[in-house]
Structure 1
C-alpha cells in the first residue's frame, strides 16, 4: 500500500509482485496487479500416442486479465490460451511454455515436454562392403528404424526361427556359401513391430565380372576373325581381277565394231571440185579364223553434174575386190 499519496493518479514505478488499489473516503477499488506465475495443464495426462488429440492450457491470475502466447522451444508458436493438436504427430515432440502478459507486466510458465510415442517405421537395412562379397571376407549388416521409444533389433535368417544376432549391427566374420540366404531385421518396441529383408549372395560380384569378361573376350575374337577373313577375301578378289581381262568390255567393244556405220561428206571449195560422199556399214562375223570377213560400202561421186553410185565389197578370204554399179 502506498501511504500519503492523495492524488487521483499514480505514475511511479510499478513492481510486478505488488498489487495496487485506490480508496476514496470509505470506498476502495479492486486491486490491480501483473500476472502471477502461469500454470500449464496437459490433456491427456498419460502417454501421448501418434494421432491422439492433445490440449495444452495456460492460466494466470492477473488484473487486468492476461493475454497468452505459446512457444515451442524458443520459437513463437501461437497466441492463444489453449494449444490444441487434433492429430498430434512425432514432429510435435518438443518443449513448450506459455507467457501471460498485461499492462503491469509479464510472466512465463515452466516448460512442459510433449513426447509423442509411436511404433517403429520401416527399418532401413544395408550391407558393408556394398560391392561384391567374396568367400572368407567379413560382412557387416546394419539396421535402423525411427521409433519412440527406441526400437530393439533382432536379426533372423530366412526359414529359421532362432535369431542370429541382437542389436542394430550383425557381423559375419567368415562369409561362406552357406550364408547365401535372405536375412531380415526386426525392429520392435512397446508400440509395434516392423521388419525388412536383405539378400546376400556369395561371390555374386566375382561371378558377374568373370562372365562379363568371358563374353567380351569371345566377342573380340569373333570380331578379329571376321576382319581377317574379310581382308583375305578382298585380296583374293583383287588378284583375280588383275590376272583376267575384262571380258565384258571386250564383248561390248566387238559389238560396237559389228554395228558400226559411218558416213562422210566433203563439200568442195568451188564448183569445179567434185562432191562425193562415203556411206559405209561394217559387219564382222567371226565364227572361226577361216570364215570370210565382208566389208561393204557405197561410194557416191559427182562429176560435171553427173552422180555415180558405186557399191564395193571386200572378201577377205580370197583377198579380192568386187564392185557393182547402178
Structure 2
C-alpha cells in the first residue's frame, strides 16, 4: 500500500483508520530510536558532488519486527527521485540512469551509487521500503552536481583564486593543489597565492580529490605561423596566426620591431598589399591574468611574379600555338625543296663514268653522259633512248653504251648511223 509524498513528508506519527485495517507509517527522524519504530536515517541530507565523479547516498532503516498482531518482514527496498502515474520510479529502470546506478543493501543499510555524474542528476532522492504489513519512505536527500571552475583575480601583491561550484555554502570543504600537489584544505572557496610564471593551481571538493577543477596557468610559449608559407610576393596578402595554451584563455597582441604601438590585437593578423616597407620582425604576445609570453618571426618580400590577366592568357597561348605551327610548316617546305634539288645537282656534276657492271645484273640499260663545253653558254639537250634492235631470240646479253658530247657540230636530224644497230641513239641540239 502506497501513500502520497505529501503524507510522507509529515514530521510526526500519523494514524489512519481504513476499512482494511490500521496502517501506521513514520517519517524519518535524525536518530533511530529503536528496532520497534519505523525510520530512515542518512549520513548526510545535503550532498554536493562533482560532475563526472561517483557519489554514494547511504541510509539506515528500522521497522518493528511485529505489526498488527503478526510478524513484520521487509519485502522490497529501493530509491527513487521522481514519480510516474503517482507511483515512485526506481532509477534502475529509468533510461536516464541506465548502466550508472547500483542499489546495494544489507543489514538494514542501503546505498545508492551513481557513477559518471551529470548535472541533470541534481535532484532529491528518497529511500522507500515495504513490508508484508506496510510501506515507509524517509525524508529526501538533496544531491547537487557541480562543474568546478577556478576564477582568477589579480592584485599588486598576490593572485586570488575562487573555486566556483553550485554547492550550498558551508556544506563542503575545498582542497587546493599547486602543480598537482595538495597544499591546503579550507572551508572557504577563496585562496590567495603569490603566483609564479611556471605554476599551476586547481581545487577540489573534499571527498572528490580525484575530480579536481581544470588547472589555471599563464600562457605557454605561443606558436606563430604565416600564410602563404612558401614566400611573400610583393602586393600579396599575408596572414599571421598565433596560438598559446593558457587558462584562462589568452588575449593576443601583435607588435613590429622598433614600433611602440601595437599593430593589431586578436589571434589573427592580416597584412594586405604587402610591400618592402612591411618587411621586418613581428612578435605575438599572449597574456592572461597569470602572466604573458611571446614569440617572434621575420617577414620579407621574396620578389614579385609577372602575371597576365585571365582575359589575355588564352589569346596569347593560341597565338603561340599558331606561330609554332606556321614555323614547322615552313621548315618542312624548305627541307623538301632541298631534298628534291640535291639529286639533280649530283647528276649534273657527275664527271666520272660508271664502272663496268657484271653481266649477271639485270637487262637494264645504263648510260653515262658527259657534257663538255669551253663556252659559258648553257647547253640544251633533248635526248631519247632508242629501243635495242632484236637480232636473234637467243640474244639475252644486255647492251651498255657510253655517249660523250663534245663541241663538234651536231649531226643533221634524221641521218642514219653506220654504227652497230644495238647502240643507243641520241639526238642533241645545241644553240650557240
TM-score (norm 1): 0.46
Question: Which structure has more helix as a fraction of its residues?
Answer: 1
TM-score (norm 2): 0.37
